[in-house]
Amino acid sequence: MKKILLLISCISIIGSQIVFSQSAEKAAPGVGKIKTSPPVARPLFKDFMGINGHYTFKPELYNQVCRLVRNYHNIDWDVKKLGAPVTIPESANHVNWKEDVYGPWKKAGFETDICIQFGAFGTNSPSYEAAWAGQERWTYNYGKAMAAYYGPSGRHKLATSFEIDNEPGTRFNPALFRTVFKQMAQGIRDGDPAAKILTPTAQARNGDDYSQDLRGMYAEKDILPLYDVINVHTYSTMDKTEATQNNWHRSYPEDTSIAYLKVIDETVEWRNKNATDKEIWVTEFGYDACTPEAMKYRKDWALKLNWQGATDLQQAQYLVRSFLVFAERDISRAYLYYYDDNDEASFHAASGLTREFKPKMSFWAVKQLYKTLGDYRFKRVVKKDIGDLFVYEFEHDTDPTRVIWMAWSPTGAKTFEKDTYVAREIKTTLKDLPGTPTEVAGMATADGKAPQAAWKKAGKSAITLTVSERPTYIIMKK
């Protein structure tokens, strides 16, 4: 996330072996086939889907869409200056993180990942380097105290993982960051060895203002044992051109001209060669969607550079489809950004599943995905024709006779073209179904029962139906 709005006031089966084969797909141009580590079962969807939260997060509302939550937790909220006494769970800004945040989240069934942001001690402060000078021992003690109190082995068990900063990128002095990371990570390790440690946002390509280059310190022998998870942020943004004026416009998830999925594939490939024991989590991805009324009040750069978001329907489609194409890849979790917004026509300011805590279409679509696929895991690609048709197979955790095919048209609109875009539909015949459909449902966009899709048998193990950019659930019993 480039900008955080702070709300604190203040696979096919061969015998019994699981194989993630992509022989049936057409590889995306410039991406190639995804390289994976030795075949392992993908996570269940309920252990894969997450959301980014914050102080005003309503756990009883959002536990309908997932059970994993990520929180932004600034160091400068805990202490007014580095070196000051650490008074966990009380903080310098008068928040009790146990009573006000992590306790209620846990009670509602959430598993929390804490992103320890440097905040005022990061690059937003011109004197950040001086603030960290001589604070190596304090940094270690802070990490240890955080893990010991909030970690999975502690008395309260309020979090299971910790990130060491969010998006320091290339802006933070690399040598200083290495020192801070090493001290804090060792403190977390010693505070609770069961807690998982995440890198900040990184990518297996040149770093930028928000992502570090994974190929640097994270491959070094003394750093490798200090983290468990490679942390990736990816957004479907487009490069700036004369026509688009800015690089904030977004496209649909499967667009092969953008870096959205390539960043993940490159990270998987690097991990498989250099850090095979590490998980990969996508901790931020998302789509902005505000109302037409909000667009009338664009201002500053959003107006000058013609910022555009997706429609509510497109946001719903693209979030669900993002989870699906992420699930194909060898990653362990994906956290969508964001939980709520105030209907602002600006970058990252309209990314919520809810608008002022009232569900958008995306809320109902993601809820349906979570409820329907929660006990299923990705099994294989059935069909992957770029620009035409994607079909993925998911298998139930404990009952292999229960199978779901997800089918959709992998097409869509660039945000600046949405007003004139005509959504694509195709009539197709799906063959070699592993079972008999018991239900064929469309993507939900409102509360209540999901719309049922029209289909008919086309032989012993085939059906004919119309597939659109809204994923279709084909629920089967072998």
Write out pLDDT tens, residues 187-229. Answer: 999 999 999 999 999 999 999 999 999 999 999 999 999 999 9
Strands (E) in 132-269, as ranges, are: 161-164, 196-203, 212-213, 229-233
Helix (H, G, I), strand (E, B) or coil at 365: helix
Q: Bigger pLDDT: 291 or 240? A: 291
- Segment 386-412 shows an average pLDDT of 97
What per-residue confidence (pLDDT) applies to 248?
86
What per-residue confidence (pLDDT) applies to 241?
78
What per-residue confidence (pLDDT) applies to 143?
98
What per-residue confidence (pLDDT) applies to 321?
98
Q: Bigger pLDDT: 130 or 32? A: 130
CB atoms within 10 A of CB 296: 8
Q: Is the pLDDT of residue 234 over 80?
A: yes
pLDDT by residue (tens digit) across 262-317? 999 999 999 999 999 999 999 999 999 999 999 999 999 999 989 999 999 999 99
| Residue 13 confidence class, pLDDT cut points 50, 70, 90 | very low
Q: Is the pLDDT of residue 336 over 90?
A: yes
Question: pLDDT exceeding 70 applies to what percent of the chain?
Answer: 91
Q: Is the pLDDT of residue 5 over 70?
A: no
Instruction: Walk across the sheet containing 472-477 and list its strands.
Output: 376-385, 389-396, 402-408, 472-477, 436-441
Positive or negative, the CA dihedral 193, 198, 199, 205 is: positive
What per-residue confidence (pLDDT) applies to 97?
97
Average pLDDT over the chain reads 91
Burial class (CB in 10 A: 0-12, 13-18, 19+), 428: middle
Angle at 283 between CA 381 and CA 303, to 5 degrees: 105
| Residue 246 confidence class, pLDDT cut points 50, 70, 90 | confident
Burial class (CB in 10 A: 0-12, 13-18, 19+), 397: middle
Residue whose C-alpha is closest to residue 346's, from 400, 307, 396, 393:
307
What per-residue confidence (pLDDT) applies to 31?
37
What per-residue confidence (pLDDT) applies to 38?
45
Q: Bigger pLDDT: 17 or 104? A: 104
pLDDT by residue (tens digit) across 22-53? 333 333 333 334 444 445 689 999 999 999 99
Ramachandran category for residue 119: left, alpha or beta (phi over 0 → left; psi -120 to 50 → alpha): left
Helix (H, G, I), strand (E, B) or coil at 164: strand
Beta-ladder partners of 463: 430, 457
According to DSSP, the β-strands at 358-359 and 49-53 are unpaired
- Segment 417-426 shows an average pLDDT of 94
What per-residue confidence (pLDDT) applies to 267?
98
pLDDT by residue (tens digit) across 50-78? 999 999 999 999 999 999 999 999 999 99
**In which residue are the tokens 């939900």 written?**
444
| Residue 403 confidence class, pLDDT cut points 50, 70, 90 | very high
CB atoms within 10 A of CB 355: 20
pLDDT by residue (tens digit) across 342-382? 999 999 999 999 999 999 999 999 999 999 999 999 999 99
pTM of the entire structure? Answer: 0.91
Q: Is the pLDDT of residue 8 over 70?
A: no
| Residue 457 confidence class, pLDDT cut points 50, 70, 90 | very high
d(CA 449, CA 445): 10
What per-residue confidence (pLDDT) applies to 14?
28
CA within 13 Å, CB half, 67: 13
